């Protein structure tokens, strides 16, 4: 696996607080990678270290093949940490020209138009950023992260403060950067449903440590259960013993997929009436809660 980021026993302490506690993580090249964790898990600390903004207390990180702060490696990455702020009197186009010039890059109008188009801001190119919504500011932030044509971009909470249409647009933008432009995207988010929709792989952190890592499909199918609408349900619960539980009118069988056919055969032989039997995946939220012991605020009221 070629990795864009590799950390080894990364530790960061602030006085007695261990923001990162021996974190070893490998993020593969390609795809969208989510870093999840409850408040204070250490996600922003990790990103700040990777971007060379703060130094680790112990441990190492290799980003785009170079040590932290390596100038050549940092040219191959872009980032957006928190909702960006720009001079309010500038237009989106002026912000892009200003910042690309500051990076020593040519900012002819064709290039600027391309950047604006990539993030869906063509129609707002000549509007002052003072009137921009949070979503538009975040998209302009992504455009800026892209001006050096990076192979990797790191986004801390790219959808925070956005309304549902804004979130949907950001999701499409992130997927398109990965799918059509081959850019590896690493993001931190609290919005688990969003992460499940947009990410290919995730790392779940808690108290500065890695508690789970894997592809979204691996993590969600490993918690798969068989949901049965059956009569009489008491008999089925008896057959299942500790592996069975009730969820409303249905019986949930916590068994591996391979055991499904044998269970159904046994139930039929015992005269159980089966109306429906279907596999239901665990969602990322339940995996997250199991791994971190957290209570997640529903996205609808975030
Ligand atoms: N500059 C700092 N000084 C002291 N403590 C800090 C500092 N930065 C972070 N911390 C502490 O380190 C821990 C990890 O914080 P961090 O911001 O990395 O977590 P996070 O996962 O990004 O949280 P959130 O989801 O709330 O943004 C927290 O306990 C935080 O209070």
- Could you read off the pLDDT of 112-141 as tens digits, one per residue? 898 899 888 999 999 999 999 888 899 999
Q: What number does CATH give the domain 224-280?
A: 3.30.70
d(CA 151, CA 149): 7
Q: How far is the CA of 45 from the centre of ligand 1 (A)?
A: 6
pLDDT at res. 294: 62
- The number of the ligand 1 atom at minimal distance from the alpha carbon of 47 is 18
200 closest CA partner among 187, 211, 210: 187
Residue nearest to ligand 1 atom 2, measured at CA: 14
Q: How far is the CA of 18 from the centre of ligand 1 (A)?
A: 9
Q: How far is the CA of 207 from the centre of ligand 1 (A)?
A: 10
List all residues whose CB is within 6 A of at least one atom of ligand 1. 14, 17, 19, 37, 39-45
Q: Where in the chain is the domain with CATH 3.30.70?
A: 224-280
Residue nearest to ligand 1 atom 10, measured at CA: 19
152 or 256, higher pLDDT? 152
300 confidence band (pLDDT: 50, 70, 90): very low
Q: How far is the CA of 193 from the centre of ligand 1 (A)?
A: 23
What mean pLDDT, rounded, does the chain reach?
89
The mean pLDDT value for 131-156 works out to 91
- Could you read off the pLDDT of 73-113 as tens digits, one per residue? 888 899 998 778 899 999 999 999 998 888 888 877 888 89
pLDDT at res. 32: 97
15 confidence band (pLDDT: 50, 70, 90): very high
- The number of the ligand 1 atom at minimal distance from the alpha carbon of 205 is 21
Q: Which of 45, 54, 157, 211 is the pocket-test mutation for ligand 1 (most atoms within 8 Å of CB)?
A: 45
Residue nearest to ligand 1 atom 4, measured at CA: 14
pLDDT at res. 180: 93
- The number of the ligand 1 atom at minimal distance from the alpha carbon of 208 is 14
193 confidence band (pLDDT: 50, 70, 90): confident
Residue nearest to ligand 1 atom 24, measured at CA: 39
- The number of the ligand 1 atom at minimal distance from the alpha carbon of 190 is 25
Which of 3.30.70.20, 3.40.50.150, 3.40.50.300, 3.40.50.2000 is the CATH number of 3-219? Answer: 3.40.50.300
pLDDT at res. 69: 83
pLDDT at 192 over 90: no
277 closest CA partner among 228, 221, 237: 228
Q: Which two tokens stand for residue 96?
A: 């892009």
| Percent share of the chain, pLDDT over 70 | 97
297 confidence band (pLDDT: 50, 70, 90): very low
**DSSP secondary structure, 176-195, as one string:** HHHHHH--EEEEE-S-HHHH
pLDDT at 207 over 80: yes
pLDDT at 8 over 90: yes
Q: How far is the CA of 15 from the centre of ligand 1 (A)?
A: 12
43 closest CA partner among 211, 220, 293: 211
The mean pLDDT value for 249-271 works out to 90
Q: Which two tokens stand for residue 188?
A: 């931190």
pLDDT at res. 1: 55
Q: How far is the CA of 247 from the centre of ligand 1 (A)?
A: 38
Q: Where in the chain is the domain with CATH 3.40.50.300?
A: 3-219
Residue nearest to ligand 1 atom 3, measured at CA: 14
Q: How far is the CA of 40 from the centre of ligand 1 (A)?
A: 5
């Amino acid at each position: 696996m070629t990795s864009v980021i590799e950390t080894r026993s990364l530790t960061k302490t602030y006085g007695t607080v261990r923001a990162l506690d021996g974190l070893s993580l490998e993020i593969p090249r390609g795809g969208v990678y989510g870093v999840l964790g409850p408040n204070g898990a250490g996600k922003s600390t990790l990103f700040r270290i990777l971007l060379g903004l703060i130094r680790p207390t112990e441990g190492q990180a290799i980003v785009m093949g170079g040590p932290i702060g390596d100038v050549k490696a940092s040219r191959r990455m872009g980032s957006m940490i928190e909702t960006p702020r720009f001079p309010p009197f500038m237009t989106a186009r002026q912000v892009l020209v200003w910042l690309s010039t500051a990076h020593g890059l040519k900012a002819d109008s064709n290039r600027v138009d391309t950047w604006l188009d990539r993030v869906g801001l063509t129609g707002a190119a000549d509007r002052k950023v003072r009137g921009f919504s949070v979503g538009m500011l975040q998209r302009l932030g992504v455009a800026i992260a892209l001006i050096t044509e990076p192979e990797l971009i790191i986004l801390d909470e790219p959808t925070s403060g956005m309304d549902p249409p804004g979130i949907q647009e950001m999701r499409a933008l992130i997927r398109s950067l990965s799918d059509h432009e081959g850019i590896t995207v690493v993001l931190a988010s609290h919005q688990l449903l969003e992460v499940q929709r947009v990410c290919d792989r995730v790392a779940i952190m808690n108290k500065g440590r890695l508690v789970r890592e894997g592809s979204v499909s691996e993590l969600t199918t490993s918690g798969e259960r068989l949901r049965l609408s059956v009569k009489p349900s008491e008999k089925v619960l008896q057959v299942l013993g500790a592996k069975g539980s009730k969820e409303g009118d249905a019986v949930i069988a916590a068994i591996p997929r391979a055991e499904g056919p044998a269970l159904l055969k046994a139930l039929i032989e015992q005269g159980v009436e089966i109306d429906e039997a279907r596999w239901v995946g665990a969602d990322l939220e339940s995996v997250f809660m199991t791994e971190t012991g957290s209570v997640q605020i529903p996205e609808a009221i975030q």
